[in-house]
Amino acid sequence: MASESILRVDAVEKAFGGIQAVDRCSLTVLPKSITGLIGPNGAGKSTLFNIIAGLYRPDGGEIWFDGTRIDGLPPYEIVHLGLTKTWQIPHELRNLTVLENLVLAAKGNSGEHLLNLFFRPRAVKRDEKQWRARAREVLKLTQLDGLANEHARTLSGGQKKLLELSRALMSDPTLVLLDEPVAGVNPALTGSLMDLIEKLRQSGRTFFLIEHDMNVVMNRCDWVIVMHQGRRIAEGRPEKVKTDPVVIESYLGG
């Protein structure tokens, strides 16, 4: 099992002051799956995502991604290994346009190195052109193409969620951590978004997502992990988790 997994979290711990947010949590995510992470508010789901993405340093435990140990690495190196995360509360770059937000998320844009501007101007121009074109493609997928040249701050809450997803797709990741990707997105778009995620999964990507929308979790995920008080309390196929008495008591309710 461990050797097949794309992400392995092993006894990870994290405390904030006196609160044990993540308490020796272990879990694995299989490649090319859509894995859901559910649990009550304060269960430690977002904290765990931030630890995996390198934004928080864990107090203990190990994290392995695709054969590399990533705990302790800075976030930008983890992105370059192919692991991207979106934020629960959108972190759009407010005074940059939607298109700029996307182009920024590209990996290996040579113009982002100061010396290349002066010594490799043609490569800079070529890269920039290529990434702008790619950004427009992604925006078409997420239906934000009409807003490409608007400031990101002018988007609605749901549109900002779409921007988060669009940015994640720009870096061509193998594993995407989605923190509540459809919260605040209208039902019709939620459907097409999840269709898009399904399509991207078939092209070889893995999705690990936190979501409170049980329709999405039960119908779209192939595996569901349940967290409670910083620990994994259950996992399994959606229909099995739905009927698990422990899960019903702590999260789903009777």
Residues that bind other proteins (CB under 8 A): 53, 55, 74-76, 79-80, 84-85, 87, 91-97, 99-100, 103-105, 107, 109, 111-114, 117, 124-125, 127-128, 132, 148-149, 151, 167, 171
Inter-residue contact 221 to 19 (CB < 8 Å): no
Kindly state the smallest distance separating residue 110's Cβ from other proteins, in Å.
8
Kindly state the smallest distance separating residue 107's Cβ from other proteins, in Å.
6
Task: Determine the Cα–Cα distance for residues 70 and 81; give it in Å rounded to an integer.
Answer: 9
- Residue 30 exposed, middle or buried by CB count within 10 Å (0-12, 13-18, 19+): middle
Sign of CA dihedral 12, 14, 19, 21: negative
Kindly state the smallest distance separating residue 112's Cβ from other proteins, in Å.
5
Of the pair 136, 231, the CB lying nearest other proteins is at 136
Q: For residue 45, give the nearest of 74, 71, 22 by alpha carbon.
A: 22
Distances (CA, A) of 247 to 49, 109, 138, 232: 21, 45, 37, 11
Of the pair 162, 221, the CB lying nearest other proteins is at 162
Of the pair 11, 117, the CB lying nearest other proteins is at 117
| Number of other CB atoms surrounding residue 241 within 10 Å | 24
Task: Determine the Cα–Cα distance for residues 162 and 2; give it in Å rounded to an integer.
Answer: 33
3-state secondary structure of 89: coil
Kindly state the smallest distance separating residue 140's Cβ from other proteins, in Å.
15
Of the pair 105, 241, the CB lying nearest other proteins is at 105
Of the pair 24, 120, the CB lying nearest other proteins is at 120
Kindly state the smallest distance separating residue 63's Cβ from other proteins, in Å.
16
Of the pair 107, 201, the CB lying nearest other proteins is at 107
Kindly state the smallest distance separating residue 95's Cβ from other proteins, in Å.
6
Sign of CA dihedral 8, 42, 92, 140: positive
